[in-house]
Amino acid sequence: MVKKKAGDYNEEHGKKLHDGVISKLNHISFNNLLDVGCGTGNLLSRISSKYEVKIAGVDISPDMLEIARDKLGEKADLRVGDSENLPFDDECFDVITCTDSFHHYPHPGNVLIEFKRILKPEGHIIIADLSVPQPFKQLSNLLIPFTKDGDVRIYSESEIRKLLVNTGFKGFEWEQINMSAFIVTAFK
């Protein structure tokens, strides 16, 4: 995993993903939420100003979390950690969000098992991530390991569905946000 600097991030793309996540949250009843790969805390910051819920974030990069801490202060429980080994107890969250981070994970199946472990029964996941039109996907995935951002793979709808179904998630819903982004929801 290559560390990202906060300034490297494409704010417009991030905002579209965050808008998509917020629109999904509007239909869910929840008391607490974990944002995995929370980066500099932009999504958590929006969630904290919109909902009266407990929020937490985890990221593998201490540098990203430092910026998130400056932004969120005591409003969020922020921890350094790997998505494959989350520093939280079993069945403690109503919702897990993951925006623009899933394509960085070398073992996505292990990550989803971990998401399931820390979700309460019937808890929801919302994953928003990069997408590439089908004709370019194969080439993108051949080239993506050579980018400097630590990207691993861009997923199609059927690949994400298979990963989630194999982990035992239910109620899979896929929505294409635009040509370069999708959002997926499912529950435990």
Ligand X SMILES: C[S@@+](CC[C@H](N)C(=O)[O-])C[C@H]1O[C@@H](n2cnc3c(N)ncnc32)[C@H](O)[C@@H]1O
Contacts with ligand X by CB under 6 A lie at 1, 4, 9, 14, 17, 37-39, 42-43, 59-61, 64, 82-83, 99-101, 104-105
Strand order in the sheet with 32-36: 76-80, 54-59, 32-36, 93-99, 119-130, 181-187, 170-178
Residue facing ligand X at closest CB distance: 39
In angstroms, give the least distance from the CB of 162 to ligand X: 21
Give whichever of 60 and 125 is closer to ligand X, judged by the CB atom.
60
Please, are residues 42 and 13 in contact by the beta-carbon 8 Å criterion?
Answer: no
Q: How far is the CB of 112 from ligand X (least distance, A)?
A: 13
What is the smallest separation between the CB atom of 142 and ligand X, expressed in angstroms? Answer: 21
| Residue spans of alpha helices (H) in 10-107 | 11-25, 42-50, 62-72
Closer CB to ligand X, 115 or 169, in the complex: 115
DSSP 8-state symbol, 52? -
Q: Which residue number, 1 or 143, has a Cβ lying nearer to ligand X?
A: 1
Supply the DSSP symbol for 85: B
d(CA 138, CA 49) in angstroms, rounded, equals 40
Rounded to a whole number of angstroms, the minimum distance from the CB of residue 100 to ligand X is: 4
Between 1 and 165, CB nearer to ligand X? 1
